[in-house]
């Protein structure tokens, strides 16, 4: 794993969820995930998570976790961001960044989110970050090795 540490003293206000990043950087994507974290609805866990997903055409969609009194009905930030992108017609992704308030370790997607990301490919980038903006780069494949995906269902049709 490659660890990058970057500190930024300036902040950007995200005025809308949909942005085009013509020349994107991992740092910018992590920053957008940190901004998305501010909208988290987490009255039960108090654990804020934000995500920013970059589509193949350079569009960025953000999401935050949305908890529910019926705990299992809650939605993670990663699935929120990806669902927003898919609902707008995007199904091809370059990268996703994930942010939380954790200071001592990198936020890692849960198993359900790993499988959700896998639905859209195994070779796109995942930036897991700490609250200071430092991050690690992984791929969906590294997060979910030996995974089950759409091709596995298509293989069954050929028999």
The angle, 0 to 180 degrees and rounded to 10, between the axes of the packed helices 77-87 and 111-118 is 20
pLDDT, position 5: 43
CA dist., res. 100 & res. 132, Å (int): 10
> What is the CATH number for 123?
3.40.140.10
Range of 75's domain?
Answer: 2-157
More confident residue, 92 or 2: 92
Catalytic residue among 27, 38, 78, 142: 78
**Measured between alpha carbons, how far is 116 from 77 in angstroms, rounded to an integer?**
12
Query: Which of 15, 65, 67 lies closest to 39 in space, CA to CA?
Result: 65
Residue 68, marked binder: yes
Is 38 known to be catalytic? no
pLDDT (0 to 100) of residue 158: 63
Average confidence (pLDDT) over 140-145: 98
Regarding pTM above 0.75, the answer is: yes
For residue range 65-108, list pLDDT tens digits in order: 999 999 999 999 999 999 999 999 999 999 999 999 999 999 99
Number of domains in the chain: 1
Task: Tell whether 86 is in a known binding site.
Answer: no
Is 112 annotated as a binding-site member? no
Residue 98: predicted pLDDT: 98
């Amino acid at each position: 794993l490659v660890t990058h540490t970057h500190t930024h003293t300036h902040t950007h206000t995200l005025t809308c969820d949909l942005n085009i990043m013509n020349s994107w950087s991992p740092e910018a994507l992590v920053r957008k995930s940190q901004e998305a974290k501010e909208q988290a609805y987490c009255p039960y866990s108090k654990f804020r998570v934000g995500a920013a997903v970059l589509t193949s055409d350079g569009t960025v969609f953000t999401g935050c976790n949305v908890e529910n009194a019926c705990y299992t009905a809650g939605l993670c930030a990663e699935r929120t961001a990806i669902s927003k992108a898919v609902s707008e017609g995007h199904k091809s992704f370059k990268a996703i960044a994930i942010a939380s308030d954790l200071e001592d370790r990198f936020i890692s997607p849960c198993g359900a989110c790993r499988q959700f990301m896998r639905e859209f490919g195994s070779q796109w980038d995942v930036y897991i970050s700490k609250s200071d903006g430092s991050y690690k780069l992984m791929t969906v494949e590294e997060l979910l090795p030996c995974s089950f995906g759409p091709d596995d269902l298509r293989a069954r049709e050929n028999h």
